[in-house]
Structure 1
Amino acid sequence: PKGVMNEHLGVVNRLLWARDAYHVDSNDRVLQKTPFGFDVSVWEFFLPLLAGAELVMARPGGHQEP
């Protein structure tokens, strides 16, 4: 696997943008369904924590149930 080094400021900037663009706040719940090995999982883990929202962990395959 290849990795990319990200600056702290870049990650924080992206999280602040997402919080404001999607209006995430303490009244929201965010479903974390991306495996933590993928880079996209960073936003799913840290966006709700930054905004004071609730992070809901999906069980494997749970997001695919009707």
Structure 2
Amino acid sequence: TGTPKGVMNEHLGVVNRLLWARDAYQVNSQDRVLQKTPFGFDVSVWEFFLPLLAGAELVMARPGGHQDP
């Protein structure tokens, strides 16, 4: 969309969201979570940090690897 934008966010807000997601989706150390969103997008924060917070395995997709063949 042009010029990169950003917003300041407190650590507590991010942690609160991650703890909610861990409990809502019941992510635990027996799970694997696919990291498919490019890290430049805000959604990638949840995909990246949620499994690490829950002790789950983080699986990194190859570029385009999440799409149907």
Q: TM-score range by the shorter chain?
A: over 0.9
Shift of 1:18: 0.0
Structure 1 equivalent of residue 39 of structure 2: 36
Shift of 1:4: 1.0
Q: Distance in 2 between matches of 1:4 and 1:43?
A: 16
Number of aligned residue pairs:
66
Shift of 1:65: 2.9
TM-score, scaled to structure 2:
0.93
Pick the structure with more helix per residue.
1
TM-score, scaled to structure 1:
0.97
Q: Give the RMSD, CA atoms, in angstroms.
A: 0.7
Aligned partner of residue 62 in structure 1, secondary structure? coil
Runs of 5+ unmatched residues, structure 2? none
Runs of 5+ unmatched residues, structure 1? none
Q: Deviations over 1:12-32 (max 9, x none)?
A: 000000000000000000000
